[in-house]
Structure formats: structure tokens, C-alpha cells
């Protein structure tokens, strides 16, 4: 069985690119409308990055369960239960 992590890799690459873009960004704490919009955009961006991290986790677990399901098709005797 070939393990396919293509979707997780793509999501991880997108996450990494966005993290690099955001790294080192200065927050504007001024009480202006422009600053509030910027902080709102920053909040949305950070929430989206957290979502991407969650998505990668789900994609990896999907691959794990597909692998486990394929591995379970071959029934191997459990130690001590085989007729000898």
C-alpha cells in the first residue's frame, strides 16, 4: 500500500508560506479605524493559520486510518492465540 500524504504536504506548504509572511509583523495599537481593520485582519489570519494546522492533522489522520484499514485486511495471529 502506498501512503499518500500529498494533501497534507500541500496544506503544510501553504501554512509555512503564510507563517513566513506573517513572522515579524508589527501590530499597530493606535486607536484609529485603519488600525482596527488591521487588527481584525490579523485576527482572521491567525485563526486561518490555526485552521490550516488542524486541517493538516486531519489529513494525516485520514491517511493513518486508510493505512490501518488496509493493514487490518491481513489478519496476523496475535501472540499466544495461534493454534500450534
Q: Please state the three-class secondary structure of 17-84 as a single string.
A: HHHHHHCCCCCCCCCCHHHHHHHHHHHHHHHHHHHHHHHHHHHHHHHHHHHHHHHHCCCCCCCCCCCC
Q: Does the predicted TM-score (pTM) go above 0.85?
A: no
Other CB atoms within 10 A of residue 52 CB: 17
What are the residue ranges in the chain where pLDDT is below 50?
73-74, 84
pLDDT for 66: 87
Cell numbers of 72, please? 487490518
pLDDT for 59: 92
Q: What are the structural domain ranges in the chain?
A: 32-73
Distance CA(69)–CA(81), nearest Å, equals 22
pLDDT for 84: 44
Distance CA(3)–CA(73), nearest Å, equals 16
Amino acid at each position: 500500500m502506498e501512503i499518500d500524504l500529498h494533501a497534507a504536504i500541500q496544506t503544510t506548504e501553504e501554512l509555512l508560506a503564510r507563517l513566513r509572511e506573517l513572522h515579524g509583523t508589527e501590530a499597530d495599537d493606535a486607536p484609529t479605524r485603519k488600525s482596527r481593520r488591521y487588527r481584525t485582519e490579523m485576527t482572521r489570519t491567525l485563526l486561518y493559520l490555526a485552521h490550516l494546522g488542524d486541517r493538516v492533522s486531519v489529513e494525516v489522520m485520514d491517511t493513518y486510518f486508510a493505512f490501518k484499514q488496509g493493514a487490518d485486511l491481513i489478519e496476523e495471529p496475535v501472540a499466544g492465540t495461534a493454534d500450534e
